[in-house]
Amino acid sequence: NAGVTQTPKFRILKIGQSMTLQCTQDMNHNYMYWYRQDPGMGLKLIYYSVGAGITDKGEVPNGYNVSRSTTEDFPLRLELAAPSQTSVYFCASRSSGAQPGFDSNQPQHFGDGTRLSIL
Amino acid sequence: AQKVTQAQTEISVVEKEDVTLDCVYETRDTTYYLFWYKQPPSGELVFLIRRNSFDEQNEISGRYSWNFQKSTSSFNFTITASQVVDSAVYFCALSGARGGFKTIFGAGTRLFVKA
C-alpha cells in the first residue's frame, strides 16, 4: 500500500519556467490537498479537492493551478515560476469516514514532499 | 475566521523532563476537529491525534497526553519523560465544518530534547 506518492522529490527551476508536481493516492480518498511549507513555518493550504472534478482555492492559491480528473490524481501546476514559490510542497489525502453522507474529517495522509527551488 | 496559535516557537528540554506544547484555536463553528501532527527531522508529517468538538475527554497514549478545554479554546499536548526521539516540530491543526473542513495549521513548535 503506497499511500500518497509525490513526484519529483526535488526540483530546481529557473524563473519563468513551468512544471507540474504530481500527486497520486491509492486509498480511494475523496479529499485531497496541496500545501506549501516555507522554512521554519507551518503549512499553508494552496488548493484542495473534495472529489473528482471539484477543486477550490485555499489560503495561497496565486501562481498555482490544479485539476482533479480522477479520484487518484491531484497534480499541482506552476505556470510562471517565481522565487517566492521556493518551498517544500506536500500533498495529502483523507477519507470522509465510513458513514455515508457524513464527513467525520478523518486524519490526512501526507506524501513525503517535493522540495522546489526557483533560481 | 479560523485560527490556530502555537505561541511557543522552540522548546528545549533535557531527556526525561516533561514538556507541554500549547495550542489555542479560534473558530465560530460548533462542529470542528482538532489535530496534532509530528514532523521529525526527516521531514514527513505523522498524524498523532484527532479530537472532535463534542468530545472533551482527555486522552493518553503511552507517554503522550492531550488536554482539550473548550472553555479556553485550547488543545495542549504533553510529553511525559521526553526522549531524544521526540525531537521534532509539532503542529496543531483545526478543521471546521463551515470552511468545508479545510484544515488550518499552526506555525508549529520545534522541540529539542537533549540527552
Interchain contact A56–B (C-beta under 8 A) = yes
Interchain contact A48–B (C-beta under 8 A) = yes
pLDDT category of residue B99 using cuts at 50, 70 and 90: low
Chain segment B7-40, per-residue pLDDT in tens: 999 999 999 999 999 999 999 988 899 999 999 9
Torsional class of A7: left (φ above 0), alpha (ψ -120 to 50), beta (otherwise): beta
pLDDT category of residue A118 using cuts at 50, 70 and 90: very high
Interchain contact B64–A (C-beta under 8 A) = no
Cα of B79 to nearest chain A Cα, Å: 21
Cα of B45 to nearest chain A Cα, Å: 6
With a pLDDT cut of 70, the percent of chain B lying above it is 98
Residue ranges of E strands in chain A: 4-7, 10-13, 19-25, 31-37, 43-51, 54-57, 64-66, 76-78, 87-94, 109-110, 114-118
Query: Residue A12 — φ and ψ, nearest 5°?
Result: -115, 130
The mean pLDDT value for B93-111 works out to 87
Q: Which residue has the cell 497514549?
A: B61
**Position A1 pLDDT exceeds 80:** no
pLDDT at B57: 83
Instruction: Return the minimum-mean-pLDDT range out of A54-58, B7-11, B95-99.
Output: B95-99
